[in-house]
A and B are shown apart, each in its own frame.
Chain A
Amino acid sequence: MVQEILKITGQFLLLILLQVLIFSNINFLGHINPYPYLFFVVLYRLDSNQTLFIILGFLMGFFLDLMHQTAGAHTIATLTVCFVRPTISNFAFGVNAENNHAMEYGTKLSNRITFLALIVFIHHLIYFSIAIFNWEGLRYIFLNTIYSALFTISILWLTLSLFNVRK
């Protein structure tokens, strides 16, 4: 139990630092950044406390907002994606939804991709909608969402494949 808490806390802090120090400064093609702090949302055990998960998601977004000097876009996006994650996992894994480590053991590739892509796309769509917050910017919101989401998904997928040696 203690080990679990330490692991989550370490993951939490490390992801915030990595995001702020490295990934938010990539600016690929001018303005496209990945948001791999969603690792946290993807990796959190499906059977752990959902209430705690929502609060942690909120805190993560809140810290990122403070460090990025943004108004509240990270907070709202991360909070919402944490809140809807049970629905997403039910949709993606169907009967296997009881599998606790969603991205690790014995789930089908297509299920894992659906799960990951849905989380990333929903998060990015909310994030850019709030950051831009303007009807005239609709096209920009969608383009940004798609580019950044592809970027984030590839980074998450590569990292997962690297560390996911236990089959």
Chain B
Amino acid sequence: MQQIINAIFRNKNVLIYLLLLLFALIFLNNRSYYHQTQLERLGLRMSGQIFEFQNNTSNYFSLQKQNQDLLEENRLLKEKLTSTNSIDTLSNPTFAISGFTYYTAQVLKNSFDQARNQLVLDKGSIGHIEKEMGVIGPHGIVGIINETTPHFSSALSLLHSDVRINAKLLKNGAFGSIYWPGIAANRLLLDGISTINNVAVGDTVVTGGMSDYFPKDIPIGKVVNYKLLPSKRYYEIEVLPFTNFTALEYVYVVKNNNKEELNQLKP
């Protein structure tokens, strides 16, 4: 014991230096958004490598299941393709301006047990991934890209308490915003739906066209429960997401080609 205390006293300058340095680094991290993102990027680069290795190994064992999912998705897409072809796209202005480009990516790391969950994807700026692009899974929306390095990118999951996305009810187009209140990975809340609209359990919730990140009508989930807010003017609707956030493998990253142009119109 005496020796430990002696050792501490002998090295007290080094200890104090390290302690104060740590404090200064925390200070730096909290005070400057620039330094925060740079440090995050460094962390992302390191963890990206590790998770890529881990994922490559574990992926191999779930190939069968993934193939089935892909087949199923292909089938759905083909169905959709045939149904869109029957619409006259040229005379319909919404199709003409809906300029979205899709990129595929693989999920390296995915958390769903924190208040602010994030995903790490295996593609970065070299793979055309940019900040603020939307992320869509095979069953519905997943999140928004918030940071990229040349080979990796991280996305805020829809299960991130700061993310709010414009959403609407498929059947009558009433829109509000959807967010995650925390707690369970399979409950989202949709608010801002006025009581003049009709809501029923089982209704489908899809993205509204007002978000810059996602094309409209991408599925989000279905209504499992709803209640009136005390003001009696808005509903608070519980939504079960179609995406299983605990088992994500492949995702699509969506780029809104018209975003810059749209931003110029905004105040």
Residues of A whose CB lies within 8 Å of any CB of B are 50-51, 54-55, 58, 61-62, 65, 71-73, 75-76, 79-80, 83, 130, 133-134
Residues of B whose CB lies within 8 Å of any CB of A are 12-14, 16-17, 20-21, 24-25, 27-28, 31-32, 34-35, 38
Whether B25 and A71, one on each chain, are in contact in the complex, defined by CB atoms closer than 8 angstroms, is no
Residues from chain B with Cβ under 8 Å of A71 in the complex: 27-28, 31-32, 34-35
- A73 and B25 CA atoms in complex are apart in Å by 9
Whether B13 and A51, one on each chain, are in contact in the complex, defined by CB atoms closer than 8 angstroms, is yes
Whether B27 and A54, one on each chain, are in contact in the complex, defined by CB atoms closer than 8 angstroms, is no
Residues from chain B with Cβ under 8 Å of A72 in the complex: 24-25, 27-28, 31-32, 35
Set B16, B31, B32: member contacting A51, Cβ < 8 A: B16
Whether A79 and B21, one on each chain, are in contact in the complex, defined by CB atoms closer than 8 angstroms, is yes
Whether B13 and A50, one on each chain, are in contact in the complex, defined by CB atoms closer than 8 angstroms, is yes
- A75 and B19 CA atoms in complex are apart in Å by 13
Whether B27 and A134, one on each chain, are in contact in the complex, defined by CB atoms closer than 8 angstroms, is no
- A134 and B38 CA atoms in complex are apart in Å by 8
Whether B20 and A54, one on each chain, are in contact in the complex, defined by CB atoms closer than 8 angstroms, is yes
Please indicate which of the listed interface residues A50, A72, A83 has the most CB atoms of chain B within 10 Å of its own CB. Answer: A72
Residues from chain B with Cβ under 8 Å of A75 in the complex: 24, 27-28
What are 29 residue pairs bridging A and B, where the CB atoms are less than 8 Å apart in the complex?
A50-B13, A51-B12, A51-B13, A51-B16, A54-B13, A54-B16, A54-B20, A55-B20, A58-B20, A58-B24, A62-B27, A71-B27, A71-B31, A71-B32, A72-B24, A72-B27, A72-B28, A72-B35, A73-B28, A75-B27, A75-B28, A76-B21, A76-B28, A79-B24, A83-B14, A83-B17, A133-B34, A133-B35, A134-B38
What is the CB-to-nearest-CB distance from B97 to chain A, in angstroms, rounded to a whole number?
37
Chain B, residue nearest A83 (CB): B17
The 4 closest A-B pairs by CB, nearest first: A72-B28, A71-B32, A75-B24, A83-B17
What is the CB-to-nearest-CB distance from A138 to chain B, in angstroms, rounded to a whole number?
14
Residues from chain A with Cβ under 8 Å of B38 in the complex: 133-134
Whether B35 and A79, one on each chain, are in contact in the complex, defined by CB atoms closer than 8 angstroms, is no
- A72 and B34 CA atoms in complex are apart in Å by 12
What is the CB-to-nearest-CB distance from A7 to chain B, in angstroms, rounded to a whole number?
23
Residues from chain B with Cβ under 8 Å of A79 in the complex: 17, 20-21, 24
Chain A, residue nearest B34 (CB): A133
Given contacts A71-B32, A75-B27, 5 further A-B contacts (CB under 8 A): A55-B20, A71-B28, A72-B32, A75-B24, A133-B35
- A4 and B198 CA atoms in complex are apart in Å by 80
Please indicate which of the listed interface residues B21, B24, B38 has the most CB atoms of chain A within 10 Å of its own CB. Answer: B24
Chain A, residue nearest B39 (CB): A133
Residues from chain A with Cβ under 8 Å of B16 in the complex: 51, 54-55
What is the CB-to-nearest-CB distance from A133 to chain B, in angstroms, rounded to a whole number?
6
